[in-house]
Structure 1
C-alpha cells in the first residue's frame, strides 16, 4: 500500500509537470491553476485505473487449480464513474486442485475458499460441499456426517460455480 501511495504522488508530480510544460509553451498565458488541477486529475486517474485493474491483476496471480467462483461488482455514490462501469473490488476463489474427498461419503468434498477484497488481506474459509444434495457448510474440527443437521447446510443452485467447479 505504501508503494501505491508513492506511485500516486509521482503521478501527481507528472501531471503537474505536464501543466508546467503547457504554461511554458504558452509563454505563461495558461492559467496558474492548471498545475494543481493537472496534478489532482493525474492522481485521481491513477487511483481509478488501479481500482479497475486490481481484479485482473489478482486473478492472474492465483496458482493453477484455484478457480474464481464469484466476483462482486460494486457501484458507489463517491465513485460516480462506477455507475457506468461497475468495479470488481471483491471476489471468492476455490482451491479446487487441493480439495479432498471424504473417504466415508464420496459426495462430501472439503475445499478451501479464499475471500479477496481490495486493500485487505485474503481470508481462508474451509467449506464442505455435498455434491449429491447441492449444498455447502462450514468445516469445523467437530464436524461429523452423522450429526450434521440440515439447518447448517446452505442450498446451492445447480449452476452455482462453486458446485460445478468442485463436483466436476
Structure 2
C-alpha cells in the first residue's frame, strides 16, 4: 500500500508537470488552477487504473495449478464509474494441482483455497470437497469425515452442481495427487 501511495503521488506530480509544460508552451495564457486540476486528475486516474487492473495482475502472479474459482465485483457510491463497469475487489483461487484425494473415501478431496481481497493479505483456508454430495467444509479438527456412502453432517455447505470448484476437482480426479 505504501508503494501505491508513492505511485499515486508520482502520477499527480507528473500530471502537474504536464500542466506546467502546457502553461509554458502557451506563454502562461492557461490559468494557474490548471496545475492542481491536472495533479488531481492524474492521481484519480492512476487510482482508477490500479483498481481495475488489480485482479488481472494478481491472477497473473498465481502459480501454475492455482485456478480462480470465484470473483466478486463491487460498485460503490464513492466510485460512481463502478456502476457502469463494476470492479473485481475479491476473488477465491483453489490449488487444484496440489489437491489430495482421501484414501478411505475417494469422493473426498482436500484442497487449499486462497482468499484475495484488494489491499489485504491473502488468506489460506484448507477445505474438504465431497464430490458425490456436492458439498464443502472447512478442514478443522471438529470436522466429521463421512465414510463412503454416508451423508454429510451439518458442518458441510452445499455447492451448486455447476460450481467451478466442483468441476475442477471432481471431474479431474486423476490429476489430483493421492494423499
Sort the TM-score into its range (normalised by shorter chain): over 0.9
Show the counterpart of 1:74.
74
In the other structure, the counterpart of 1:115 is 115
Tell me the CA shift for residue 141 of structure 1. Answer: 2.6
Q: Does residue 64 of the first structure (1) align with residue 82 of the second (2)? A: no
Instruction: Select 1:167's aligned residue among 160, 165, 170.
Output: 170
Deviations 1:78-122 (A, max 9, x none): 000001111001000000111111111000001010000011000
Q: C-alpha distance in 1, partners of 2:146/2:7?
A: 55
CA–CA distance in 2 between the matches of 1:151 and 1:144? 10
Cα gap change, 1:166 to 1:80, in 2 (>3 Å):
same
Note the residue ranges of structure 2 that are not aligned, 5 or more in a row. 172-179
User: In the alignment, which residue of structure 2 is the partner of 1:9?
Assistant: 9
Query: How many pairs are equivalent?
Result: 168
* Unmatched segments (≥5 aa) in structure 1: none
SS of the residue corresponding to residue 115 of structure 1 reads strand
Under a length normalisation based on structure 1, what TM-score does the superposition of the two structures give?
Answer: 0.96
TM-score by length of 2: 0.90
Cα distance in 2 for partners of 1:162, 1:133 equals 13
**Between 138-147 and 15-24, the greater mean CA deviation after superposition:** 138-147
CA distance in 1, matches of 2:122, 2:161: 27
Match of 2:157 among 154, 159, 162: 154
Alpha-carbon distance, 1:151 to partner = 1.4
Give the CA deviation at 1:146. 4.7
What is the deviation of 1:149?
5.4
SS at match of 2:154: helix
Q: Match for residue 22 of structure 2?
A: 22
TM-aligned CA deviation for residue 145 of structure 1: 2.0
Q: Deviations over 1:64-89 (max 9, x none)?
A: 11010001010000000001111001
Superposed CA offset, 1:129-162 (max 9, x none): 0000001111113434259852111111110011
Encode CA deviations 1:48-76: one digit per residue, 9 max, x unaligned: 10000000000000001101000101000
Instruction: Check the 8 A contact 2:94/2:113 in 1, yes or no.
Output: yes
